[in-house]
Structure 1
């Protein structure tokens, strides 16, 4: 049977900062016990979706929350790269959106400046490079990216030829899996934000 390869996105498991809503870009926070549990469960979900065929490419962010999620999910990372790291929040690192809005009313990462950090367009440029790399690898098999919430949402938008700010329309929970593919040559979001499978 002919199977079309796909791109699987695994958002890292829960951390204390995801629970509190703090913007977590460069800060290297560990997974919580719940985050570790969900990362293991995400591995079961990936095997359910993909079977046991080794993927052609597994990219991971260098942050330990992503690398640990990949390990617990049973993945062998082929490249650790800043290209799939989280959005750089600059001066807003570690702050919640309500805290930022005390000084910048109505602030959203998708539409407002992030002093000392990346713009949506800069994140989109990274996502475009990653999409090109993944599409070049797909003839050899599936690709998996273990990364972060905001960057992955920009990547999904990029996959379907939308601007980076379109990522606001996609929800991604910690430990969830998203599948990107094509239908007759048209890029498609095949599955979005699938929760991990509990044993």
Structure 2
């Protein structure tokens, strides 16, 4: 019985081993970590670069691409949530300024505060989409507010690329390749 429990785990670890499928694993982990899943992709990038230092820029680029695509998915999740919310409000008679909701309270005070803040900074706020805990939320809010898509993608990509480059370089400085 113990053999049956270890075998699938060993198979999975062997399948996802960095030297074997390195860049693909980095892409997948980076993409998933940029959605609302609580993952971190930096250890995978660092581990790969530690094994193959000559692949630094390629690994950083693949990680940034995957993470940016994950941010785009989160952007569209936010946009879809906003559309679903508007559809629900219209269906249940909660139109802004209607009898059920005064115009001043349409969307709530947090919606007004976040909307004002996000519109003030615009898509450039997504330079910080790499931050833990709030980065994914920033991408979703940008979609909810329908900030300009391609400008959001540009700022997401720049921020995420710089994060991977700096974090990986810092880790390599503290733990140089053998």
Q: TM-score, length-normalised on structure 1? A: 0.27
Q: Larger C-alpha radius of gyration, 1 or 2?
A: 2
Q: Which protein is richer in strand relative to its size?
A: 1
Q: TM-score, length-normalised on structure 2? A: 0.29
